[in-house]
Chain A
């Protein structure tokens, strides 16, 4: 009776119980690029990679600008004013700055929403934990989520402190050099800033390498180079930012 095991569609239709017809498929909607990318875990990660790189590019410029503080109040305050007049007369006063701010807010929001949605999904994918677990991932990798939350909170404080000057006690509008010195003359200003910059370094160390993987540039033969570049960029950025509070604390900047 070997033949009886054959699943010939005609025979199955004649002999077996009538199979229920397949429900009609949804009409094939032409898949929109953005929609299908955002719905997939791979696509959402690509959004995180691109927005992360946008923020990283901004941070590189921001860090270099910060270092102007070592050339004195004239240089630093002049640079801050120049940023507001950049693009004139094509752009109005401060328009360039606002364009950058809009792009950054969009990047932060997309990055955070994607991270939140992916994290929810990741945690749900392992409902039952292991009784015993041996972690092999790096510290930077394991701290991406909470490190990201710390950075988000830091950005809020940083804007209230040095942009809107809401929480900066001795701040004067239009005097960024003096305001920076005022912030780093307090113990809490230094602590918050340095902790956040160390978190930033860790976040970039994994994040930049991870973005390269997510955007499809990772290959076994260039993995070492990508890791070295990520670690170097993370160290230079964190070091460059931390140089400012160190400079104020040691009296180099006053």
Chain B
């Protein structure tokens, strides 16, 4: 399930600026733990953002996206739009959060 995302979405002149901070360790598979053992890769692999039910942005991530992934994009939309951000990670864990455009 993971922790909730932080989402900011604000409309200006017909454009909605969306900023998303997901909560995820994004283990690259390159790091070692204290005992020197490789920590296996475990990261968010796909993200989808829907506004009023229609997909307005999607991303596929590799292992090099930073811990607590950040996304900023802009779409043509309106105040009051309902946004749904969903991610799936490499273990199949999922999370969705909602926000309303201000």
Instruction: Indicate, yes or no, whether A interacts with B.
Output: no
A-binding residues in B (CB < 8 A)? none
Chain A interface residues (CB < 8 Å from chain B): none
